[in-house]
Chain A
Amino acid sequence: MEQDQELLNRCLAGEDSAWEALLSVHTRRIYNICYRFTGRVEEAEDVAQEVFIKVFQTLRSYDAAQGSFSTWLNRVTRNHLVDHYRRTRKERATSSLEDELPAAEVKSGPQLEPARPLESRERRELLQRGLDKLSPDLREAVILRDLQDLDYEEIAQVLGVPQGTVKSRINRGRLELGRVLKRMEGVRGPAKAGSEP
């Protein structure tokens, strides 16, 4: 946190190397949030880049009294993801229909795959597809809590809603994700969630 503040001060003084250091610290986390939300590598890279451009342009508006830089960065990311989601909703609706087709074919097919433990890559894809099925409100709450490991208070700051709402969304998101994954696993075969090495 202190390191962030020092880097920020140097950034504001026009030191490019400080901005690069700040990027090195936070890019991975922001990219992961973007990827979990969008589900596509290229899209996540583009969104992460847009987030950092926005951060760079509004760096002077950050107020340390309002919370840590990390929380502020998460909030900017979340707002940008919501905007991005709204912008790409139509395109997403089309592609999500396409995504559904293979699953529908598998469901209606006469032979299902034999039951076997899911490989690590398959598990990642399964999780991503499960997250994609959640509504944006529930998805972002689950991502911030279970994938980014933020506490309720910080999530409330990022999302700009009371903690009670955060808890409710996380709970509903988990219930929904559990149901979705169960349905998907029913198609692909059972998997033990904790069996990944």
Chain B
Amino acid sequence: MTHLDVENLTSDYLEGLLGAEVKRELESHLRLCPACLEMVEDVRQAMELCQAAPALEPAPWLVSRIMLATVGERRPSWAERLAAYIRPVFHSRLAYGIAMAVFSFSIIVNAAGISLRKVTVGDLNPLTWWPRADRAANLYLARLEQFASDLRVVYEVESRIQQLRSQAEEERKTPKEDPPAGGSSKTAPLRLPALAGNAAWVGEPFGHTGPGGTNSYSTP
């Protein structure tokens, strides 16, 4: 194999495209010829340098510049136009605002007693729906007050029962004193604990009065 043959076969050799026989001949030539060996090594290094070279990133505005030079200002597609309309709806603040508006509207409509299935022109007149809304609001308020009042009574009764139980427990634990001679064998009547707020607040829990007009939970 001549030097010129080696030169012509260098690329194929380095890319592994040579047949076994030719490759053997070429390698035996390289063992005997330092100049050819050096040349092959130079080419190998050049190929490695090329293959290791990273791809360069073009300037970020290049695509925009080409777009401007070819189609000018880009026209948005139908899908993009539609998305542009819909996108603000998914914005959290706007979505929250819409939800709150719907919620408020539904409360007002409900309070005004307007049936959305049978909306009439008269429903738009404030003189028509205001008294109904006022009545409904008062009713809700009254129910709320009643509920709060009932809740306080229940807690009061519970706490009083608790006190009675603990009092009875204490008396059972304390040693019994011998009754004085000739005294009565009857034990003293159970002393009821005083209510925390007494009847002033227990009062009349909005329409709940006991027989005879007094509060059924008031202390005797």
Binding site for B on A (CB under 8 A): 15-17, 19-20, 23-24, 27-29, 31-32, 35, 41, 45, 48-49, 52-53, 56, 123-124, 126-127, 130, 142, 146-147, 149, 167, 170-171, 174-175, 177-179, 181-182, 193-194, 196
Contact = CB atoms under 8 A, between A and B. Distances in A.
A137 B196 CA distance: 106
The 5 closest A-B pairs by CB, nearest first: A178-B42, A146-B50, A193-B45, A31-B58, A171-B11
B32 interface: no
B47 A174 contact: yes
B72 to A, nearest CB: 9
Contact of B67 (A19, A45, A170, A182): A19
Contacts of B63: 20, 23-24, 27
Output the residue of A29, A41, A171 with the most chain B CB within 10 A: A171
B158 interface: no
B45 to A, nearest CB: 4
Nearest to B57: A28
A22 to B, nearest CB: 10
B62 interface: yes
Given A19-B71, A130-B46, A28 B51 contact: no
B43 A175 contact: yes
Contact of B48 (A35, A182, A194): A194
A48 B58 contact: yes
A174 B55 CA distance: 19
Interface stretch (B23-31, B73-81, B160-168, B205-213): B73-81
Contact of A126 (B49, B66, B69, B70): B49
Contacts of A16: 67, 71, 74-75, 77
B169 to A, nearest CB: 83
B188 interface: no
Contact of A19 (B45, B49, B59, B70): B70
Output the residue of B7, B43, B48, B76 with the most chain A CB within 10 A: B43
Contacts, number: 115
Contacts of B42: 178-179, 181-182
29 contacts: A15-B77, A17-B80, A19-B71, A20-B67, A23-B63, A23-B66, A24-B63, A28-B57, A31-B56, A31-B62, A35-B56, A48-B58, A48-B66, A49-B65, A123-B52, A146-B47, A146-B50, A171-B7, A174-B10, A175-B43, A177-B46, A177-B50, A178-B39, A178-B44, A179-B39, A181-B45, A181-B49, A193-B49, A194-B48
B10 A171 contact: yes
Interface string B88-117: 000000000000000000000000000000
Contact of B7 (A170, A175, A194, A196): A175
A39 B123 CA distance: 79
A63 B47 CA distance: 34
A87 B46 CA distance: 29
Nearest to B59: A45
A183 to B, nearest CB: 10
Contacts of A182: 42
A44 to B, nearest CB: 8
